[in-house]
Amino acid sequence: MLTSHQRQSILDAVDEAFDRQVRFTAQLVSEPSLRGQEAAAQDLLQQVMQDRGLQVERWALDPEELATHPGAGAVAVSYEHTENVVGTYTPVTTGGRSLILNGHVDVVPTGITDFWSRSPWQAEVKDGWLYGRGAGDMKAGLAANLFAFDAVLAAGLRPTATLHFQSVPEEESTGNGTLAALQRGYTADAVLISEPTQGALVRAHLGVIWFSVRVSGQAAHAAEMANGSNALDAAYAVIADLRSLEAEWNERAAGHPHLAELDHPLNFNVGIIQGGDWPSSVPDWCEFSVRASFPPGTSAEDAWREIDECVERSARTNPALAGMAPETRRTGFFADGYVLGEGSEAEATLAGVHQAVTGRELETTTVTGYIDSRVYGLFAGIPAMVFGPVAEKLHGADERVNLESLREVTKSIALFLAEWCGVEAARPGDRPTE
């Protein structure tokens, strides 16, 4: 247990460095780390990890090795420039429990930038919020993990257990970054992921599958439309049948312990649609891409089987498809959901420090999306906690993170790190370099 003096020193150290933390977070946001373009942001993170004296390992994700794992997502892009960066702190004296602090560096596309009030990469601070693509999801958390560590050192302490700082890609598309870190052998006694959770601890998150459906038609002149078969009309028919399946899944979810309270927790999002070549030609192709979610406790395999059957049935029964069998393909996530088991020591420790920092009880929540916590939770049996700042407009225009909540979260992570790993008095040489 920390003394009250140690606690206060750590909290003061977070305050002391907070302006610098915000500036660093803004610098990270201004690196557009879209999928496959994370290298510059990873360079920056590698540098600051090395500046802190961490042993850094950086490697490209290997699609072949990932393919041997049941939790891997389909790799539909090149991984040539898709790299993990992990910084490891090795204690001088070993006493406490080890910890992985994880965050993802990849961000989703900006959408139409004219819909933003400023450039998504400008990283402006205004009225207590930091704006930008990835500000909330989740560069604020990624930076907080490192600044929490700084605060412990700046308080004249050093952890007495191994720490791994993971900056991973692919969280927004497959979950393969964190999975590759696990395959590489990185484990610990607990995992904390500082995704934007509005200051709550994630009790459960959903499983997610990405897939595409390609529908064929028969081309003809628009003047003789009846001689052709319209692939776009056929795609709409398949989408309508998928909507029925979505409704059925939500009805079933009404009985789920972690979803019952939520309105329409399971969403099939048609995120991309393309098809046809010419306004006066009946289109002979259409392809659309879907993100579908399903409850924790249902396997991705089972969910996928139902989706596949739904599309097949659609082809058999829908006149719009004219008997043409659509092709379904997995294109990314193939991930089960996860429920953080209650009663772990890690959770009790986090709840304790959160109470000390905020004066409030740590609330738990269900996230109706995917999070990398399932990787360590399901495949390594390690309690994987997700806890982070207040953020808004995730994946939307004018995404932003609240800085006061970020300060609180950084304090909670710093105290958690110190309590969980244990600390001892440090020598001056252990302090982080600026």
Q: Which of 309, 168, 336 is closest to 244 using CA atoms?
A: 309
Under 8 Å between Cβ of 306 and 252: no
Complex with Zn ion: residue 205 or 256, whichever CB lies closer: 205
The reply on whether position 142 binds Zn ion by CB under 5 A is no
The reply on whether position 138 binds Zn ion by CB under 5 A is yes
In angstroms, give the least distance from the CB of 340 to Zn ion: 17
The reply on whether position 384 binds Zn ion by CB under 5 A is no
Please give the C-alpha separations between residue 230 and each of 221, 284, 318, 321, 327, in angstroms, as whole numbers: 11, 6, 13, 8, 16
The reply on whether position 399 binds Zn ion by CB under 5 A is no
Complex with Zn ion: residue 87 or 389, whichever CB lies closer: 389
In angstroms, give the least distance from the CB of 245 to Zn ion: 26
Q: Which of 110, 177, 106, 163 is closest to 139 using CA atoms?
A: 106
Q: Phi and psi of 19, rounded to 5°?
A: -60, -40
In angstroms, give the least distance from the CB of 33 to Zn ion: 12
Q: Between vectors from CA 156 to CA 153 and to CA 158, what angle results, nearest 5°?
A: 50
In angstroms, give the least distance from the CB of 13 to Zn ion: 27
Closest-by-Cβ residue to Zn ion is 137
The reply on whether position 137 binds Zn ion by CB under 5 A is yes
| Segment contacting Zn ion by CB under 5 A, of 131-139, 255-263, 322-330, 339-347 | 131-139
Complex with Zn ion: residue 330 or 395, whichever CB lies closer: 395
Beta bridge pairs of residue 286:
215, 275
Task: Give the length of the chain.
Answer: 434
Complex with Zn ion: residue 195 or 347, whichever CB lies closer: 195
| Segment contacting Zn ion by CB under 5 A, of 4-12, 40-48, 134-142, 211-219 | 134-142
Report the alpha-carbon distance of residue 181 to residue 175 in Å, rounded.
11
Complex with Zn ion: residue 196 or 217, whichever CB lies closer: 196
Report the alpha-carbon distance of residue 298 to residue 338 in Å, rounded.
10
Strand stretches in 52-131, DSSP E: 55-60, 83-89, 99-104, 125-126, 129-131
Complex with Zn ion: residue 134 or 159, whichever CB lies closer: 134
| Segment contacting Zn ion by CB under 5 A, of 18-26, 138-146, 308-316, 335-343 | 138-146
Complex with Zn ion: residue 159 or 196, whichever CB lies closer: 196
Q: CB neighbours (10 Å) of residue 36? A: 16
Find the binding residues for Zn ion in span 145-204 (CB under 5 A): 195
- Quick one: tokens of 255? 């009985």
Under 8 Å between Cβ of 213 and 122: no
| Segment contacting Zn ion by CB under 5 A, of 137-145, 219-227, 354-362, 419-427 | 137-145
Complex with Zn ion: residue 384 or 421, whichever CB lies closer: 384
Q: Applying CB under 5 A, what is the total number of residues that bind Zn ion?
A: 3
Residues lying near Zn ion in the complex (CB under 5 A): 137-138, 195
